[in-house]
Amino acid sequence: MPLLKTIAVSHHISVVIWKVDETEEELAQGIQLSHHCQTRFNGMKSGMHRRAFLSIRHLLAIYGYVDDDLYYSEAGKPHLKDGTHISITHSHNFTAIIIGKQQEVGIDIEMQREKILRIAHKFTPVNEYRTLANTEAVVRKLTIVWGAKESLYKIYGQKGLSFLRHINVTDFLFDDGRTTATIQYEMDTISYQISFLEFEGFTCVYAFPLDGNE
């Protein structure tokens, strides 16, 4: 089981990241899917997606959960029946979950790709990136900002939330590994802690509300 990383963020928040290189048969062993998830699984055409989906059930098992402990909102947001917060991500052969015993949590893994340069203006003020040394640095930074906004979207989950207008990610240095972000939407102003790490051309970002928000 190639567990890439376990991060104990705090007493009640924890992240696990998996590099999926097992076969579907190997991953299916010992996994019992709920009716809802079995139906979804049966409809998945991509072998990588099926393996990622199964690997996440192994990540759940690390925390003592089985697939039946999980349910999804109509919008697709995952919840645990015991009230513990969870967020799920998969990108190519990497998958991860974040568990929050007391707070909402969000997580996102993205592959670092130059394609992000073309869509950056849709989710962040692009002039903020002019001082960066080279294209690679811009791609890395934009991927972190995108991952932060996706993580916050997974927590906040309001359909009208605009990545560009309603979410601000505070500038950061790569070595910091963390920053903050604020959602300002209608009557809400909520601040979040953002952490990020990079591995094998991928970026993982996770988020949770800063103390005092909730």
Ligand X SMILES: CC(C)(COP(=O)(O)OP(=O)(O)OC[C@H]1O[C@@H](n2cnc3c(N)ncnc32)[C@H](O)[C@@H]1OP(=O)(O)O)[C@@H](O)C(=O)NCCC(=O)NCCS
Q: Between 138 and 155, whose beta carbon lies closer to ligand X?
A: 155
DSSP 178: E
- Radius of gyration over alpha carbons of the chain, in Å? 17
Tell me which stretch binds ligand X (CB under 6 A): 5-13, 60-68, 69-77, 201-209: 69-77
Contact positions with ligand X (CB under 6 A) in 155-174: 157, 163
Q: Between 153 and 192, whose beta carbon lies closer to ligand X?
A: 153
Estimate to the nearest angstrom the gap between the alpha carbon of 174 and the chain centroid: 18
CA distance 205 to 203: 7
What is the total residue count of the chain?
214
Q: Which of 36, 81, 115, 122 binds ligand X (CB under 6 A)?
A: 122
Q: Which of 76, 83, 160, 212 binds ligand X (CB under 6 A)?
A: 76
Q: Between 108 and 169, whose beta carbon lies closer to ligand X?
A: 108
- Asked if residues 206 and 195 have their Cβ atoms less than 8 Å apart, the reply is yes
154 binds ligand X (CB under 6 A): yes
Residue type (1 letter), 81:
K
**Residue 145, token pair as written in the block:** 């900002």
Tell me which stretch binds ligand X (CB under 6 A): 16-24, 76-84, 137-145, 190-198: 76-84
**Residue 211, token pair as written in the block:** 């103390």
C-alpha triplet 56, 210, 178: angle, nearest 5°: 70
53 binds ligand X (CB under 6 A): yes
Nearest to 107, CA basis, from 5, 195, 18, 19: 195
Q: Which of 18, 94, 123, 202 binds ligand X (CB under 6 A)?
A: 123
Minimum Å gap between C-beta 154 and ligand X is 4
Residues at the contact surface with ligand X, assessed by CB under 6 A? 53, 75-78, 88-90, 108, 122-123, 150, 153-154, 157, 163
